[in-house]
Amino acid sequence: LALAPVAAPPASVDGFVREFLRNLNFERGVALSSSAPNDRYMALAYTVRDYLMARWLEDQARQRELQAKGVCYLSAEYLLGRQLDNNLLAARLTEVATEAMVACGIDIDELRQQEVEPGLGNGGLGRLAACFIDSLATMSVPSIGYGIRYEYGIFRQTFVDGQQVEQPDAWLTLGSPWEFPHPEAAQKIFFGGHTEKTTDEQGVETTTWVPGWHVLAVPYNYMVPGYHNGRVNTLRLWRAVASNAFDLRIFNSGDYEEAVRAQTFAENISKVLYPEDSTPQGKELRLQQQYFFVAASIADFLDHQLSADFDLENLPERVIFQLNDTHPVIAVPEFMRVLVDERGMEWDAAWAITQKCFAYTCHTLLPEALEVWPVDLLGRLLPRHLEIIYRINEEFLLEVRERFGDDELRIRNMSIISENPRSVRMAYLATVAGAKVNGVAELHSQLLREKVLPDFDEFYPGKFTNVTNGVTPRRFVRLANPGLAGLITEALGAGWTVDLERLRGLEAFAEDPEFRVKFAEVKRANKRILSDVLRERDGFVLNEDHLLDVMVKRLHEYKRQMLKLLHIVTEYEGIVSGRVEASSVQPRTFIFGAKAAPGYAMAKRIIHLINAVGSVVNDDPRVEGRLKVLFPPNYNVTLAERVIPAADLSEQISLAGKEASGTGNMKFALNGALTIGTDDGANVEIRELVGDDNFFLFGMTEPEVEALWAKGYKPAEFYQADSGLRRAIDLIASGAFSDGDRSVFEPVVSNLLYDDRFMVLADYSSYIAEQAKVDAAYGDQDAWTRASILNVARTGFFSSDRSIRDYIDRIWHTPPIL
Ligand code: 26V
């Protein structure tokens, strides 16, 4: 009797075809001859799943058996991107599947296009989580990713008259072949109500939470295959479902409509991803989402991952909950509640365990992005948790007094509760509870300690550390750039995909003229591929001879898309004013990709302006086609995988001290784009590694930014002092990009002139000067290619495998299992 999981079928073309047809017939219920592309895609995905299944089941069993220390990565976002190619690659099935599809008369590329990417994240933070689970699986680290199965991911962006219009992202309409629902493992999650204190005969006081309502959290599992190592980890995302009991009570009262309303209310919790990625809106539903998924995850871990006789005192040797920003921080009081109220542990013992079981990653420096929850809202939704937070704070502030004396100002500054309006500072709660607190790049971690949480750094020596971000080389080099991957493998052998520092070996090849030619051909081929994609997708024409200058990231003022735009307008103004000969301009195509939070008015105006400048510049015959601005809508992971490998120049131009790390910057460098960037986030480390000669640096440093602020920044002075800047801004203000209507972009112009929080005007002249150096450098194609190769060769550090190694060494202390 075979009790072990059914072994994977042999990976032969015949076997794959058989398995594929079986899935098509038996799972989709269609014949090949009458199947739609979606049926075929589904059957292909099922077939890939089948090959991974035995390993997955084994690994789940093994993680429970070994009871080794593992990571629970808690993240409200996972920006996964398409799964098919990733899973084919991990399982070494790409060739077999391709040939099998050929044998069935199917173009596998057409099936690839069927997959709607799961866009369950906003940007950097969500994509980082996706890279991390890939690395965790590839490095055999026992781990589970926990998150939310949003029914609607990040909105689909369209442009109407150049303005952003959002459409719901109904990614599940045709079904997802990658998910496994487990309704039998649902958790009940309670909300609202009140607390009651009771005292027993011994005079021991206990608190009970009498909740007002609850929902079911139903887990959906996703395979996370490691690359070529036979491991399959799990991503477990929670869906909110109304519980039957809850419905029935109302239903029995005869109010059917009310019962349905209650169902809708409950299911709203996992309905949609919040599209704001910097300014917290303080919405109750968002706090519901946060508590919903962390409470379900903690209960799931305790119920299903621990052996029956597990002694909770030993939890720190068994698990570390990594908090991806403050979004899951309500897990801290929840964990305390479970240990104290449900498992009967003493407060002090529970707190000691909690302080060893959590660690916190901060992803921002913008003060307005730090989450705070009004006490009245939190107390209404989670009354017991508010009490627990108060007690944590009380005891923490007592310790602070012991150490620093009754320094009331300091006490007020360090309190987890802030006043007016009374609210909970989630970053402080995470810092107090966490064994470690990390920033995401060297500069960011330093500023975090020195500027954002200095009192905490002093109070907790050794708690603060850095883990510089990374990206997965599987998706962002191997899959996105097969041409480059082939060239690297030819030069260095195949090991680089899991040992990215080996790219160093390419330094020698940078000096080889033949290799440079091949490398340049790959870049050119990637431009052609992108050109096809943009023609098909958006009807754009991409000139492959142009320098391809790319800025793709969320639209935010601190990232300074406006600075890029002022450069474009400056170039354009030079030509149309006749001061610059069009024929002397280095031909460039500027590609933008950016979504704005739907409520962020200034960001939306900037999107409008980019499109407006594009339509004027692109059609002006005086430009002779030498400047093109392309802004494909709905930038997402799938588009990133085509744009990044084709880019010559990577724009990383945030105001110094504002971009925590950036991860797009790493993807571009690894794909051979040169960076024009400020001394910000991980740009600093990229420049140190690739060398000043292979990086275009401009702009103020963070201390210079501070000094200018302190002195009093007046953007209008920069406007007055620089004629190029004046002409560019005047051209926008004149209505040249809005059919003569000066009012349309007036708010953008006056914001720059009289506010300019992110000092666009202060960095303008240095940016323009550096861009001139870019043009000159691009004139020597062979030298450019050499620098480009050196960027690839020297940025192996930015593999997310290295990030995970750093987390293990500095924070988790979880040995990989064999
Ligand atoms: C923040 C918020 C604020 C509350 C409302 C909802 C919401 C959703 C997402 C976020 C995340 C903002 C933080 C973030 O994405 N930070 C980025 O993290 C990247 C990975 O560490 C890093 O490379 C970027 O520099 C940083 O901006």
Question: Predicted ipTM?
Answer: 0.93
The yes-or-no answer on residue 667 being catalytic is yes
Residue 278, pLDDT above cutoff 90: no
| 9 confidence band (pLDDT: 50, 70, 90) | low
Separation of CA 297 and ligand 1 centre (Å): 22
Tell me which long-range contacts 756-759 makes (C-beta under 8 A, separation of at least 24).
756/713, 756/715, 757/557, 757/558, 758/557, 758/558, 758/560, 758/654, 758/655, 758/658, 759/655, 759/700, 759/705, 759/708, 759/713, 759/715
- Asked if 98 and 161 sit in the same domain, the reply is no
- Asked if 161 and 244 sit in the same domain, the reply is yes
Q: Is residue 490 part of a domain?
A: no
Separation of CA 587 and ligand 1 centre (Å): 35
Decide the pairing of beta strands 696-697 and 417-418: unpaired
Q: Report the percent of the chain where pLDDT is more than 70.
A: 97
Tell me which long-range contacts 780-783 makes (C-beta under 8 A, separation of at least 24).
781/520, 782/513, 782/516
pLDDT at 204: 82
- Asked if 400 and 545 sit in the same domain, the reply is no
Query: Which amino acid, residue 361?
Result: T
Nearest ligand 1 atom to alpha carbon 444: 25
Mean of the pLDDT values across residues 275-286?
85
Give bridge partners of residue 677 from the DSSP assignment. Answer: 652, 697
Distance between CA 440 and CA 594 in Å, rounded? 22
pLDDT at 818: 55
Hey, what are 60's tokens? 């789940």
What's this model's pTM, rounded to 2 decimal places? Answer: 0.97
Mean of the pLDDT values across residues 435-445?
98
- Asked if 98 and 125 sit in the same domain, the reply is no
The yes-or-no answer on residue 363 being catalytic is yes
Separation of CA 265 and ligand 1 centre (Å): 27
* CATH number of the domain where residue 590 is located: 3.40.50.2000
Separation of CA 278 and ligand 1 centre (Å): 6
Q: Is residue 476 part of a domain?
A: no
- Asked if 394 and 328 sit in the same domain, the reply is yes
Give the closest residue to 653 by CA, choosing from 570, 770, 547.
Answer: 770
Separation of CA 277 and ligand 1 centre (Å): 6
Q: Is residue 599 part of a domain?
A: yes
Residue 430, pLDDT above cutoff 70: yes
The yes-or-no answer on residue 622 being catalytic is no
Separation of CA 364 and ligand 1 centre (Å): 6
Nearest ligand 1 atom to alpha carbon 681: 25
Q: Is residue 230 part of a domain?
A: yes
Whole-number Cα distances in Å, 49 to 14, 223, 224, 316, 419 = 17, 8, 11, 34, 52
Distance between CA 425 and CA 248 in Å, rounded? 39
Collapsing DSSP to helix, strand or coil, 275 comes out as: coil
Task: List all residues 6 or more positions away from 390 whose beta carbon is below 8 Å from its beta carbon.
Answer: 417
Instruction: Pick the catalytic residue from 239, 554, 595, 605.
Output: 554
Helix-strand-coil split of the chain, %, nearest 5: 55, 15, 30
pLDDT tens-digit map of 119-139: 999 999 999 999 999 999 999
Instruction: Pick the catalytic residue from 231, 239, 327, 363.
Output: 363
E strands present in 413-461: 417-418, 423-425, 437-439
Q: Considering only CA atoms, which residue is closest to atom 2 of ligand 1? A: 277
Distance between CA 191 and CA 207 in Å, rounded? 16
Instruction: Pick the catalytic residue from 127, 588, 667, 687.
Output: 667
Pocket test for ligand 1, best of 78, 122, 125 (most atoms within 8 A of CB): 125
Distance between CA 398 and CA 153 in Å, rounded? 43
Separation of CA 443 and ligand 1 centre (Å): 16
| 263 confidence band (pLDDT: 50, 70, 90) | confident
Separation of CA 125 and ligand 1 centre (Å): 5
Separation of CA 571 and ligand 1 centre (Å): 33
Pocket test for ligand 1, best of 77, 363, 440, 655 (most atoms within 8 A of CB): 363
Give the closest residue to 146 by CA, choosing from 263, 304, 343.
Answer: 304
Q: Is residue 682 part of a domain?
A: yes
Tokens 């607390």, located at residue: 195
| 246 confidence band (pLDDT: 50, 70, 90) | low
Pocket test for ligand 1, best of 148, 364, 370 (most atoms within 8 A of CB): 364
Collapsing DSSP to helix, strand or coil, 346 comes out as: coil
Residue 2, pLDDT above cutoff 60: no
Q: How many residues does the chain have?
A: 818
The yes-or-no answer on residue 554 being catalytic is yes
Whole-number Cα distances in Å, 571 to 142, 585, 587, 677, 764 = 53, 8, 11, 19, 13
Q: Considering only CA atoms, which residue is closest to atom 4 of ligand 1? A: 280
Pocket test for ligand 1, best of 325, 555, 807 (most atoms within 8 A of CB): 325
Collapsing DSSP to helix, strand or coil, 172 comes out as: coil
Instruction: Pick the catalytic residue from 234, 326, 570, 663.
Output: 663
Separation of CA 505 and ligand 1 centre (Å): 34
Collapsing DSSP to helix, strand or coil, 569 comes out as: helix
pLDDT at 67: 87
What is the extent of the structural domain holding 424?
67-82+117-468+805-812
**Beta carbons of 484 and 792 less than 8 angstroms apart:** yes
Pocket test for ligand 1, best of 278, 443, 554, 683 (most atoms within 8 A of CB): 278
Instruction: Pick the catalytic residue from 156, 327, 559, 608.
Output: 559
| 277 confidence band (pLDDT: 50, 70, 90) | confident
Give the closest residue to 775 by CA, choosing from 648, 652, 678.
Answer: 648
Q: Is residue 745 part of a domain?
A: yes
Tell me which long-range contacts 162-169 makes (C-beta under 8 A, separation of at least 24).
162/607, 162/608, 162/611, 162/612, 162/615, 163/604, 163/607, 163/608, 163/611, 164/595, 164/596, 164/604, 164/607, 164/608, 166/275, 166/598, 168/272, 169/119
pLDDT tens-digit map of 199-244: 888 888 888 999 999 999 999 999 999 999 999 999 999 999 998 6
Q: Is residue 201 part of a domain?
A: yes
- Asked if 24 and 154 sit in the same domain, the reply is no
Q: Considering only CA atoms, which residue is closest to atom 8 of ligand 1? A: 277
Separation of CA 375 and ligand 1 centre (Å): 23
- Asked if 617 and 701 sit in the same domain, the reply is yes
Q: Considering only CA atoms, which residue is closest to atom 10 of ligand 1? A: 277
- Asked if 383 and 263 sit in the same domain, the reply is yes
- Asked if 632 and 665 sit in the same domain, the reply is yes
Residue 746, pLDDT above cutoff 90: yes
pLDDT tens-digit map of 303-339: 999 988 999 999 999 999 999 999 999 999 999 999 9
Give me the number of domains the chain comprises.
Answer: 3
Distance between CA 675 and CA 650 in Å, rounded? 5
- Asked if 35 and 184 sit in the same domain, the reply is no
Residue 723, pLDDT above cutoff 90: yes
- Asked if 357 and 402 sit in the same domain, the reply is yes
Q: Report the side by side order of strands in the sheet with 423-425.
A: 372-374, 423-425, 417-418
The yes-or-no answer on residue 527 being catalytic is no
Residue 256, pLDDT above cutoff 80: no
pLDDT tens-digit map of 589-622: 999 999 999 999 999 999 999 999 999 999 999 9
Burial tier of 800 (Cβ tally within 10 Å: 0-12, 13-18, 19+): buried
Query: Which amino acid, residue 246?
Result: F
Measuring from each residue's beta carbon to the nearest atom of ligand 1, which residues come in under 6 Å? 122-125, 128, 274, 276-278, 280, 325, 363-364, 369, 371, 440, 469, 659-663, 681
Pocket test for ligand 1, best of 277, 371, 452 (most atoms within 8 A of CB): 277
Residue 254, pLDDT above cutoff 90: no
Q: Is residue 224 part of a domain?
A: yes
| 545 confidence band (pLDDT: 50, 70, 90) | very high
Tokens 């093109």, located at residue: 628
Q: Considering only CA atoms, which residue is closest to atom 11 of ligand 1? A: 277
pLDDT at 282: 75
Residue 245, pLDDT above cutoff 60: no
Separation of CA 124 and ligand 1 centre (Å): 6
Mean of the pLDDT values across residues 355-383?
96
pLDDT tens-digit map of 773-814: 999 999 999 999 999 999 999 999 999 999 999 999 999 999
- Asked if 442 and 399 sit in the same domain, the reply is yes
Instruction: Pick the catalytic residue from 410, 425, 553, 802.
Output: 553
